[in-house]
Amino acid sequence: MDNQNEVFQQDLSKEERPGAVFMIQLLMREPVVLPEKEHMIEVMARHLSEVECFWHDEKGAGFEAKKYLAQFKDATLPPQLMITQCSSFDEKNIDGFQKSQMWNCMDERNSIFEECRYQVLATDMLAATLSIKDRAELDMDFMEALVELYPQCEAVYFHTSGKMFPIDQIRNHQIPRENRFIHFAVNARFFNIQGTNDMIVDTVGMSTLLLPDVQYHFHDMDPNWVVNHAYNVASYILKNENSIKDGDTIDGIVNGQFDPNVQWKCHCEDALIQPSRPVFDVCMSEHASGNRK
């Protein structure tokens, strides 16, 4: 990751809602029509097993994913997957702070925003009470169905994490099923702290699954090593359903590689960088910056 030249102000008034709806934006150069109902059912069922279309008109479409059941106080219901009609897209709704962290498409970012003036929004609903692995699978299968339904799509923006991918990176991916959510829906961000040699790497997007993000406040280490560590720790948290506890230690890094002889302690803390959310703060021993418990 290259050093950033832009300066941003910390704003912890922005909060994440744990378990909030998963929302993605399919970005298009030209307006598109909603696919025919039968075609949508066929594609959705191929990716998500049994589905039921309960809504399809000029305003959008809605599906129940029958494979899953979400438990609520008074009912057990399948989650719903909603797709809107095509609407105009204004890049001004994505601010400079968010754009600065689009590491997967820095070279393409500006051209995507210049050329794409239309969008289709897609969300899940009634999915917050699904198991961690079920919701991750549901949302990623939904994503793959969407990019098949809309061949005109040029890029996909993940609203919760601020991550954006040129469409070929999704259509041509070879990511194992169990790793898709971390790869696509979780964003590892990088910040230089103005006036110091300190850096911060953190993740955003884990709260969709009611999981903590991870955070590193450090100096004198290649941030690319730390980003790789963050993605690996986030993947471990997802696969093991948040088995890391406050005060636990994890393998650290030596020369860019995980090393069990170096142990870094994790503490549950509040995020240093917006949005406000709980994180596992990883204390990087002699590379750690800031005050720790």
Q: What is residue 3's predicted lDDT score, i.e. its pLDDT?
A: 45
Residue 9, domain member (yes or no):
no
Mean pLDDT, range 87-99, rounded to an integer: 95
Of 151, 166, 183, the one marking the end of a domain is 183
Question: What's the chain's average pLDDT?
Answer: 94
Q: What is the DSSP string of the chain?
A: -PPP-------TT-B--TTPPPEEEEEESS--PPPPHHHHHHHHHHHHSSEEEEEEETTEEEEEETT--EE-SS-EE--EEEEEPPEE--GGGS-HHHHTT-GGGTTTHHHHHHH--EEEEEEEES-TTS-HHHHHHHHHHHHHHHHHH-TT--EEEETTTTEEEEHHHHHT----GGGHIIIII-EEEEEE-TTSS-EEEEEESGGGGT--EEEEEESSS-HHHHHHHHHHHHHHHHHTTS---TT-EEEEEETTEEEEEEEEEEEEEE-SSSSB-EEEEEE-GGGB-S---
Domain end marker among 165, 183, 201: 183
116 and 230 both lie in a single domain: no
Residues in contact with 174: Cβ distance below 8 Å, sequence separation at least 6, in sequence order: none
Q: Does residue 15 sit within a domain?
A: no
Q: Is residue 167 part of a domain?
A: yes
Are 162 and 280 within one domain? no
**123 & 98 share domain:** yes
Give percent of the chain above pLDDT 70. Answer: 93
Same domain as 199, residue 145: no
**Residue 292 maps to a domain:** no
Residue 148 burial (CB count, 10 A): 16
Q: Where does residue 21 rank: exposed (0-12), middle (13-18), buried (19+ CB within 10 A)? A: middle
- Roughly what angle, to the nearest 10 degrees, separates helices 132-149 and 37-48? 140
Q: Is the same domain home to 160 and 76?
A: yes
Same domain, 122 and 44: yes
Asked whether residue 5 is domain-assigned, the answer is no
Full residue range of the structural domain in which residue 161 is found: 23-183
Domain co-membership, 218 together with 270: yes
Read off the tokens for 236: 């471990």
Domains held by the chain: number:
2
| Residue 64 shares a structural domain with residue 81 | yes
Q: Is residue 33 part of a domain?
A: yes
Query: Could you tell me the pTM of the whole model?
Result: 0.93
Average pLDDT over residues 124-142: 97
Domain stop point among 183, 211, 229? 183
Residues 245 and 165 in one domain: no
- Say if 12 falls within a structural domain: no
Same domain (yes/no): 167, 83: yes
The burial class, CB within 10 Å (0-12 / 13-18 / 19+), for 73 is: exposed
Are 176 and 192 contained in the same domain?
A: no
CA torsion through residues 290, 246, 127, 240, sign: positive
What the block records as the tokens of 73 is: 């106080």
Average pLDDT over residues 249-265: 97
Q: Are residues 86 and 173 in the same domain?
A: yes
Which residue bears the tokens 């696969």?
Answer: 239
Give 11's pLDDT tier (boundaries 50, 70, 90): low
pLDDT band at 16 (very low <50, low <70, confident <90, very high): low
Question: Is residue 14 in a domain?
Answer: no
Per-residue pLDDT reduced to its tens digit, 60-85: 999 999 999 999 888 999 999 999 99
Nearest-angstrom CA–CA distance, 91 and 271: 26
Between 12-16, 201-205, 215-219, the lowest mean confidence (pLDDT) is in: 12-16
User: How many beta carbons lie within 10 A of that of residue 219, not counting itself?
Assistant: 15
